[in-house]
Structure 1
Amino acid sequence: MDESSLPSSVDVDKGFAIAFVVLLFLFLIVMIFRCAKLVKNPYEASSTATETSLS
Protein backbone atom coordinates (compact mmCIF):
# COMPACT_ATOMS: atom_id res chain seq x y z
CA MET A 1 0.00 0.00 0.00
CA ASP A 2 1.44 3.33 -1.09
CA GLU A 3 1.22 6.37 1.19
CA SER A 4 -0.38 8.85 -1.18
CA SER A 5 -1.54 11.19 1.61
CA LEU A 6 2.00 12.51 2.29
CA PRO A 7 4.28 13.79 -0.44
CA SER A 8 7.71 12.21 -0.59
CA SER A 9 9.40 15.54 0.23
CA VAL A 10 7.79 15.82 3.72
CA ASP A 11 10.19 14.86 6.50
CA VAL A 12 8.63 14.93 9.97
CA ASP A 13 11.95 14.95 11.83
CA LYS A 14 13.20 17.85 9.73
CA GLY A 15 9.99 19.75 10.46
CA PHE A 16 10.36 19.23 14.20
CA ALA A 17 13.99 20.33 14.04
CA ILE A 18 13.11 23.51 12.13
CA ALA A 19 10.26 24.30 14.52
CA PHE A 20 12.57 23.77 17.51
CA VAL A 21 15.22 26.08 16.04
CA VAL A 22 12.62 28.76 15.28
CA LEU A 23 11.23 28.61 18.82
CA LEU A 24 14.76 28.71 20.21
CA PHE A 25 15.52 31.86 18.20
CA LEU A 26 12.28 33.50 19.37
CA PHE A 27 13.16 32.70 22.98
CA LEU A 28 16.66 34.10 22.42
CA ILE A 29 15.27 37.34 20.97
CA VAL A 30 12.89 37.77 23.92
CA MET A 31 15.72 37.18 26.39
CA ILE A 32 17.95 39.70 24.59
CA PHE A 33 15.27 42.37 24.87
CA ARG A 34 14.66 41.60 28.55
CA CYS A 35 18.36 41.71 29.35
CA ALA A 36 18.79 44.95 27.40
CA LYS A 37 15.92 46.48 29.38
CA LEU A 38 17.54 45.36 32.62
CA VAL A 39 20.92 46.79 31.63
CA LYS A 40 19.34 50.05 30.47
CA ASN A 41 17.47 50.68 33.74
CA PRO A 42 18.26 48.13 36.47
CA TYR A 43 16.49 49.98 39.29
CA GLU A 44 13.14 50.13 37.51
CA ALA A 45 13.26 46.43 36.64
CA SER A 46 14.11 45.33 40.18
CA SER A 47 12.12 47.95 42.13
CA THR A 48 9.05 45.74 42.71
CA ALA A 49 11.14 42.87 44.07
CA THR A 50 13.02 45.05 46.55
CA GLU A 51 9.95 46.98 47.75
CA THR A 52 8.14 43.81 48.85
CA SER A 53 11.16 42.46 50.71
CA LEU A 54 11.81 45.74 52.60
CA SER A 55 8.31 46.21 53.93
Structure 2
Amino acid sequence: MDEFSSVDVDKGFAIAFVVLLFLFLMVMIFRCAKLVKNPYKASFTTTEPSLS
Protein backbone atom coordinates (compact mmCIF):
# COMPACT_ATOMS: atom_id res chain seq x y z
CA MET A 1 0.00 0.00 0.00
CA ASP A 2 2.93 2.33 0.42
CA GLU A 3 3.58 2.35 -3.30
CA PHE A 4 0.04 3.65 -3.98
CA SER A 5 0.26 6.33 -1.32
CA SER A 6 3.34 7.77 -3.02
CA VAL A 7 1.23 8.73 -6.06
CA ASP A 8 0.48 12.44 -5.84
CA VAL A 9 -2.85 13.68 -7.20
CA ASP A 10 -1.44 17.13 -7.92
CA LYS A 11 1.37 15.58 -9.93
CA GLY A 12 -1.19 13.66 -11.99
CA PHE A 13 -3.16 16.82 -12.71
CA ALA A 14 0.04 18.62 -13.67
CA ILE A 15 1.03 15.84 -16.08
CA ALA A 16 -2.44 15.80 -17.61
CA PHE A 17 -2.35 19.58 -18.01
CA VAL A 18 1.05 19.46 -19.72
CA VAL A 19 -0.15 16.71 -22.08
CA LEU A 20 -3.27 18.66 -23.03
CA LEU A 21 -1.22 21.82 -23.48
CA PHE A 22 1.19 19.92 -25.74
CA LEU A 23 -1.67 18.57 -27.86
CA PHE A 24 -3.18 22.05 -28.16
CA LEU A 25 0.20 23.42 -29.21
CA MET A 26 0.57 20.74 -31.89
CA VAL A 27 -2.88 21.57 -33.30
CA MET A 28 -2.08 25.29 -33.37
CA ILE A 29 1.28 24.69 -35.07
CA PHE A 30 -0.43 22.54 -37.71
CA ARG A 31 -3.10 25.17 -38.37
CA CYS A 32 -0.56 27.99 -38.56
CA ALA A 33 1.62 25.99 -40.95
CA LYS A 34 -1.41 25.40 -43.18
CA LEU A 35 -2.20 29.13 -43.07
CA VAL A 36 1.37 30.08 -43.98
CA LYS A 37 1.45 27.52 -46.79
CA ASN A 38 -1.71 28.79 -48.48
CA PRO A 39 -3.08 31.95 -46.81
CA TYR A 40 -5.72 32.76 -49.46
CA LYS A 41 -7.41 29.37 -49.38
CA ALA A 42 -7.33 29.16 -45.57
CA SER A 43 -8.74 32.66 -44.98
CA PHE A 44 -11.16 32.76 -47.94
CA THR A 45 -14.29 32.25 -45.86
CA THR A 46 -13.32 35.00 -43.41
CA THR A 47 -12.43 37.58 -46.08
CA GLU A 48 -15.46 36.88 -48.29
CA PRO A 49 -18.02 38.94 -46.26
CA SER A 50 -15.71 41.96 -46.12
CA LEU A 51 -15.47 42.09 -49.92
CA SER A 52 -19.19 42.63 -50.41
Give the TM-score normalised by the residue count of structure 2: 0.85
Q: CA deviation at 1:2?
A: 11
Q: CA deviation at 1:10?
A: 1.9
RMSD: 2.8
Identify unmatched segments of 5+ residues in structure 1: none
Give the TM-score normalised by the residue count of structure 1: 0.81
Size of the aligned set, in residue pairs, is 51
Question: Judging changes above 3 Å, is the alpha-carbon distance between structure 1 residues 14 and 53 closer, same or farther for their aligned structure 2 residues?
Answer: same
Deviates most, 45-54 or 16-25? 45-54
Q: Which has the larger radius of gyration?
A: 1
Which structure's residues are more often helix, by fraction? Answer: 2
